[in-house]
Amino acid sequence: MLKIAIQKSGRLYEDSIKLLKECGIELNNGNKQLKTTANNFPVEIYFLRDDDIPQYVYDGVANVGIVGENVLLEKGKEVDIIYHLGFGKCRLSIAVPKATIYNSVTDLQGLKIATTYSSLLQKFLNEKNVNAEIHEISGSVEIAPGIGLADAICDLVSSGSTLFTNGLKEVEVVLSSEAILCSNKNLSDANKNVLDKLLLRINAVKTAKNNKYILLNAPNEQLKNIAALLPGMKSPTIVPLAEEGWSSVQSVVNENIFWEVIEKLKALGAEGILVVPIEKMIM
Ligand code: PRT
Ligand code: ZN
């Protein structure tokens, strides 16, 4: 049984559950309990505060965990990061009141910075050779400058609207973060085996999301050029159409180069282009 720790509630909860579901893992009986099992995969899911997940994985109470990289690195627990999951994206940033003149990191010298991430902030300041006073607080960091508690803050930012509404501006990024899957360093062979199966599924889900299935009609004289644009997983499938001189081309195209490829395909005379989402993709 592979024990997986996920956040009990909060920003990572929904995406963690969704990922397990997309991996075909059906959890038993709801979520508001401490733990649950799946009826079709040998895992046990522990629902925990995100701050506790690194410790639990380190201790081996859970074998693996889904947690923000920011939390894991702040706690400094020696566990392996095995997958960047692509959700819960944010950055740990330093922000100062809008009116503060800020040119470079040396402007932080001597300031008082409020944060819940004192360890990551201290590391950043050391790397930059800046001496600043870290004031550790447990929450509502963004109001610290407004109430005279600090000159600057170091907190998580995603859209930036919290900083904006509190009259602050982002001046340094300490860390870019997203949810990660981390693992205890000493997994049993049986658990390694389950983890490998889980990783294969996660990979299939994530790769599918980054790719689209594409079907189009191509004039035969351009088939070579069009096929070169669509290498797909091995090579494109090419089938002759009933109409002489035309073929149907089917392949897979990466999201990152998608529009660029579409423009080129059109320029080469491709017609009737259909783009279809892929549910799972196993390379
Ligand atoms: O109860 P528990 O301890 O488990 O949860 P929590 O309240 O400590 O954490 P939670 O659920 O708020 O966040 C969990 C994880 O989500 C974090 O550790 C990050 O890895 C990730 N994440 C992604 C974020 C954000 N984006 C985020 N924007 N965590 C917090 N925020 C907060 C930020 O602290 C600030 O208050 O949102 C505000 C800023 O958001 P914007 O959009 O206004 O910039
Ligand atoms: Zn927390």
Q: What is the pLDDT of residue 233?
A: 86
Given this model, what pLDDT does residue 167 score? 98
Strand partners, 93: 155, 173
Of the pLDDT bands very low, low, confident and very high (cuts 50, 70, 90), residue 32 is low
Torsion, Cα of 22, 213, 275, 247 (10° steps): -160
Q: Name the region of 269 (left: φ>0; alpha: ψ -120 to 50; beta: rest).
A: left
Percent of the chain past pLDDT 70, that is, above it, reads 99
**Separation of CA 50 and ligand 2 centre (Å):** 5
The predicted model gives 132-153 an average pLDDT of 97
The pLDDT of residue 283 = 82
Q: Which residues pair with 253 in a beta bridge?
A: 212
Predicted confidence band of residue 249 (pLDDT cuts 50, 70, 90): very high
From ligand 1's centre to the CA of 235, what distance in Å?
43
* Residue 231 confidence (pLDDT): 86
User: What's the pLDDT tens digit per position in 51-82?
Assistant: 999 999 999 999 999 999 999 999 999 999 99
- The number of C-alpha atoms within 13 Å of 58 and in the hemisphere containing its C-beta is 13
Which residues have a Cβ under 8 Å from the Cβ of 21 and sit 6 or more positions away?
Answer: 27
| Section 44-57 average pLDDT | 97
| pLDDT confidence band for 31 (50 / 70 / 90) | low
- Ligand 1 centroid to residue 156 C-alpha, Å: 7
**The model's pTM:** 0.92
Which residue's CA lies nearest to atom 13 of ligand 1?
A: 11
Q: Between residues 64 and 232, which one has the greater pLDDT?
A: 64
State yes or no: pLDDT of 243 exceeds 80. yes
pLDDT in tens, 160-202: 999 999 999 999 999 999 999 999 999 999 999 999 999 999 9
CB–CB of 11/53 below 8 Å? Answer: no
Own/partner pairs, 67-70, CB within 8 angstroms, 24+ separation: 67/5, 67/7, 67/12, 67/179, 67/180, 67/182, 68/12, 68/177, 68/178, 68/179, 68/180, 69/175, 69/177, 69/178, 69/179, 69/180, 70/117, 70/120, 70/156, 70/175, 70/177
Q: Minimum-distance ligand to the CA of 72?
A: 1
DSSP structure class, residue 108: G
Instruction: Find tokens 């660029």 and name the residue.
Output: 260
pLDDT (0 to 100) of residue 30 = 63
Task: For ligand 1, pick from 6, 85, 157 the residue to mutate: most ligand atoms within 8 Å of CB.
Answer: 157
Query: Does the Cβ of 162 fall within 6 Å of ligand 1?
Result: yes
> Relative to the CA of 10, which ligand 1 atom is closest?
11
Give the integer Cα–Cα distance in Å for 257 and 249.
18
* Residue of 91, 93, 95 whose CA lies nearest to 150: 95
Q: Ligand 1 mean position to 139 CA, how many Å?
A: 11
Ligand 1 pocket mutation, candidates 56, 90, 138, 162, criterion most atoms within 8 A of CB:
90
Using the atom order of ligand 1, give the atom closest to the CA of residue 162.
43
Q: Relative to the alpha carbon of 48, which ligand is closest?
A: 1
- pLDDT of 33 reads 83
**For all residues of the chain together, what is the average pLDDT?**
96
